[in-house]
Structure 1
């Protein structure tokens, strides 16, 4: 009997380790830690999911987001947890929380554009800022590429508050030109030089219908898509525009995701993988979850023949295993 108890105890321990390392299917896809602001990429046939990390208490009335985390999957159902791999402490100029971020690969290196806050110093009077970290593998290690912020609050003046320079999204167009979009209250974009660490020209500011924050920009066939969290209602929804040019003009296309349960924010991340399109977002449905304790989900994304996006159907089941 003692031997059987030891075997059972060992089995339980092995299962606990497995659960802490691999996050199994169904929405939310990650249930052992609170995650938000999904930013997926595909590298060498593997999906790498970069996330922010909520650690606020159940009674908190504001965010507590100490770091950025990474997960990976080859079947869209089982997710490996790499833990915390970057934080604002990586940046000597930074202070405050780790807000939405996105990573992109170019020429064998991974550039992770992050939003946080800038210390008050001779460069900036504070406010939100965007930095960039670099590594030679999606899992790092990452280091501050510039030693200073790429975007600071003083570089954009259309919004008269200090938290508008957040939520970067980056894409490389077919001609090799890189672009970064970002912003709260208004959407801003700028070209990036090939070194991915310098802006290349002026910053352009515009405001798509109902835009509030969290842009995600990408190209599919001949259309460019700008998907974002909207301020048309509270809580947020996801709306989008399309264009024949990455530089606009943008045509408003409508709502694709309604409010999410138990969270007043939502945030898009969009990915094509092994023949299917996936829509990543966050909600607050985990036990003790909420607007400051969010969790990432995935559902299928479908397009009409004219390239418009069908409404996202939020499910508890999530997506099926990719074979």
Structure 2
């Protein structure tokens, strides 16, 4: 979710004024971007349950020059990709008693009749640095409770990393054989198998870092091809993150880099893909910083979730995605 913002945020001009009326949903076509206009949301993670798509997001309450102020996670749902239902917050970062702050990127998956929620937070001083927790609920709308009483992944578990916030942005994926995998990372991308109980790592942690990987990995599968999409940054030419992707014949690789999928989000240093098939169509969720709420413009922390259709070529590669204000309200 976050990246080299510690080094770059002070030099990036990310609080540019948003388009007139961006904060006002009145008159906006259903399905146009941003999806939610009354608060700042980021790091979208879709989950399809029956005929409804649930979208899990972080809620940033940053004021003025604050970089991030993310305390809780939210969920919305839709049956038509155009009209959305909101719910009370599903969890706070500090509901993980071992965590002290930062409700960063998350993803929820359904298995064993329950819903498992994986999220990045800041661990307390017993395990300094970012960590990944797992919570559980009987319902996709929560509330969720800590499933372990301790972190699933801590900074000490990936000792080759270069910084304390590398263990963020979990993505979870269940393969056709029922095995569930978790991938995550910042600068380095890691993957590991989960035990059937969904709350323990099963086996080694492997590094699978693709070119220009920055953060925000997302795993999905279509046909016999596996996809790893992620926020990328070519440090020699780019200031803001883009989305790139790789493919593989197996979840364990080898991964082949396929290039960029999207450009950067408007006014936003970060970007974060979430991909799902819903009622026969594929969608990619992203975020930008083009929303104004009250007197607060979009900024590095104050982002807004968007959605676009995702299309495939005959060979399984993905067609480049143009980010639009029309979103899925536009004709096919």
TM-score (norm 2): 0.87
Partner residue of 1:306 out of 315, 318, 321:
315
Q: Distance in 2 between matches of 1:315 and 1:212?
A: 23
Counterpart mapping for 1:270-309 below 5 A: 270-287=275-292, 288-309=297-318
Q: Corresponding residue for 1:199? A: 201
1:34 aligns with 2:40: yes
Q: Corresponding residue for 1:150? A: 152
3-state SS in 1 of match to 2:156: helix
Q: CA deviation at 1:57?
A: 1.1
Q: Distance in 2 between matches of 1:217 and 1:140?
A: 23
2:93–2:99 contact (8 Å) kept in structure 1: yes
Q: CA deviation at 1:82?
A: 0.5
Q: Distance in 1 between matches of 2:286 and 2:140?
A: 21
Q: CA deviation at 1:24?
A: 4.6
Question: Which has more radius of gyration?
Answer: 1
Runs (5+) with no aligned partner, structure 2: 1-24
2:30–2:329 contact (8 Å) kept in structure 1: no
Q: Distance in 1 between matches of 2:30 and 2:60?
A: 20
1:66 aligns with 2:71: yes
Q: CA deviation at 1:158?
A: 1.4
Counterpart mapping for 1:46-65 below 5 A: 46-60=52-66, 62-65=67-70
Report the CA distance shift for 1:43/1:321 in structure 2 as closer, same or farther (over 3 A): farther
Asked which structure has the greater RCO (Cα within 8 Å, sep 6+), the reply is 2
Runs (5+) with no aligned partner, structure 1: 1-18
Q: Distance in 1 between matches of 2:282 and 2:179?
A: 24
Give the ranges of 4+ consecutive aligned residues of structure 1 lying more than 4 Å apart after TM superposition.
none
Structure with the bigger percentage of helix: 1
3-state SS in 2 of match to 1:270: strand
Q: Distance in 2 between matches of 1:160 and 1:75?
A: 43
1:244 aligns with 2:254: no
Please, what is the CA RMSD of the aligned residues?
A: 1.6
TM-score (norm 1): 0.90
Q: Corresponding residue for 2:81? A: 76
